[in-house]
Amino acid sequence: MDTRDFIAGLPKAELHLHIEGSLEPELMFALARRNRIDLPFPTVEAVRAAYQFSRLQDFLDIYYAGADVLRTEQDFHDLADAYFARAAADGVVHAEIFFDPQTHTDRGIPFQVVADGLLAAMRAAEQRHGVTSKLILCFLRHLDEDAAFATLDAAEPWLDRIAGVGLDSSELGHPPEKFARVFAEAGKLGLKRVAHAGEEGPPDYVWQALDLLNVDRLDHGNRSLEDPQLVRTLAEREMTLTVCPLSNLKLCVVDSLAQHPIDRMLDCGLYATINSDDPAYFGGYVADNYRAVAAARGLTRDQIVQLARNSFTGSFLDDASIAAHLDRLDAYVGAH
């Protein structure tokens, strides 16, 4: 079996996926027609042509514009349903997906519409594809902490079905410390905590995520490698990093995948994983990310398997479920 096919069948979890970022142009146009919305692009091809970014903010501008077609519970269901079909084809057996309620509530879409649509699709994915999933509510860091508290309050009826909270959107100028109080409150509520840090922001943002937000998992974390003590701390704490190679390339975090640090992270003892971030915008789902970085960096099969293993040990599944997934992974590797 060649590496491409091996990666496709490799059981894996995806831990860094923005569900709004899986909105393919074809679905964007279909939802726009259904909801009678005029898009600023004449064709699917014109949308894709706009996906040229020089920094995170370039992407966010078009990301928020695209999300405007999401209006009804059925829209959110269809969005997630399409993602899970793609994920299952990529060997994903468990996914922990982010959603940005403020992107929707700020334009008048009730929290219930968003949550119920996504949760219905998550239930359907387990029945149809055997893919289990968890939902992570992300706060938009370009807004203030009071807005994050209001979102956490609005989520209260769904907290038994939400696994954790996260922090995303524009990183520079919005350090993790800005959200220390709301993350502390989320912890008291029994929610897991994750945060984007060290993508464009400096290593200090990663320290803040660790020490002020008390994160259970770190999203991105590339710039951690600039601080040797931080690298040692991340390794000692067995902190999982949800790394997104094609995103890093598309947003100019790295100049080329040949320069991507994924294998260096593994060599440093970091618990790195491979994820797709916003696959509709960045040119590939999770298996595409594995294949692209494996080819560019010459990853060994053992390194590829380690990345998949880290995706399960870094998940928020219970110990028994993690053990079962690792057994399935080992069986697949043994058979190939």
| pLDDT tens by residue, 264-290 | 999 999 999 999 999 999 989 999 999
Contact yes or no for 98/16 (Cβ under 8 A):
yes
pLDDT of 64 above 90 = no
- DSSP structural state of residue 58: H
Q: Is 199 part of the annotated catalytic residue set? A: yes
Residues linked to residue 139 through DSSP beta bridges, in sequence order: 167
Residue with tokens 């696959």: 279
pTM for the complete prediction?
0.96
Band (48; pLDDT cuts 50, 70, 90) = confident
Distance CA(172)–CA(13), nearest Å, equals 29
Query: Hey, is 133 helix, strand or coil?
Result: strand
Query: Hey, is 102 helix, strand or coil?
Result: helix
pLDDT of 238 above 80 = yes
What is each CA distance from 179 to 15, 25, 186, 192, 204, in whole angstroms? Answer: 22, 33, 11, 15, 15
Catalytic option among 45, 199, 200, 226: 199
What is each CA distance from 259 to 205, 210, 304, in whole angstroms? Answer: 22, 26, 17
Residue with tokens 């690298």: 231
Higher local confidence (pLDDT), 152 or 46: 152
Distance CA(141)–CA(130), nearest Å, equals 34
pLDDT of 249 above 90 = yes
Quick one: what percent of the chain has pLDDT higher than 90?
A: 90
Tokens standing for residue 123? 């239930």
Distance CA(87)–CA(82), nearest Å, equals 9
Residues linked to residue 167 through DSSP beta bridges, in sequence order: 139
CATH T-level assignment (fold) for domain 3-335: TIM Barrel (3.20.20)
Higher local confidence (pLDDT), 174 or 53: 174
The mean per-residue pLDDT over the stretch 51-69 comes to: 83
* Backbone phi and psi for residue 71, each to the nearest 5 degrees, phi listed first: -125, -35
pLDDT of 13 above 80 = yes
Q: Is the dihedral of CA 319, 324, 325, 331 positive or negative?
A: positive
What is each CA distance from 10 to 108, 199, 292, in whole angstroms? Answer: 41, 27, 15
pLDDT at 26: 94
The residues, ordered by sequence, that sit 6+ positions from 241 with a Cβ below 8 Å of its Cβ are: 217, 218, 219, 220, 221, 224, 234, 265, 270, 271, 272, 273
Tokens standing for residue 136? 């992570």
Q: Where are the alpha helices (DSSP H) in the chain?
A: 3-9, 25-34, 44-49, 56-66, 73-89, 101-105, 111-129, 145-154, 180-188, 203-211, 228-236, 245-250, 262-267, 279-282, 286-297, 301-313, 319-335
Query: Hey, is 325 helix, strand or coil?
Result: helix
Distance CA(88)–CA(294), nearest Å, equals 20
Distance CA(334)–CA(221), nearest Å, equals 32
Mean pLDDT of the chain: 96
Gyration radius (Cα) of the chain, Å? 19
Band (53; pLDDT cuts 50, 70, 90) = confident
pLDDT of 54 above 90 = no
Distance CA(157)–CA(244), nearest Å, equals 32
pLDDT of 259 above 90 = yes
Higher local confidence (pLDDT), 55 or 187: 187
In degrees, to the nearest 5, what angle opens at C-alpha 282 toward C-alphas 26 and 122?
65
| pLDDT tens by residue, 180-237 | 999 999 999 999 999 999 999 999 999 999 999 999 999 999 999 999 999 999 999 9
Contact yes or no for 132/126 (Cβ under 8 A):
yes
pLDDT of 1 above 80 = no
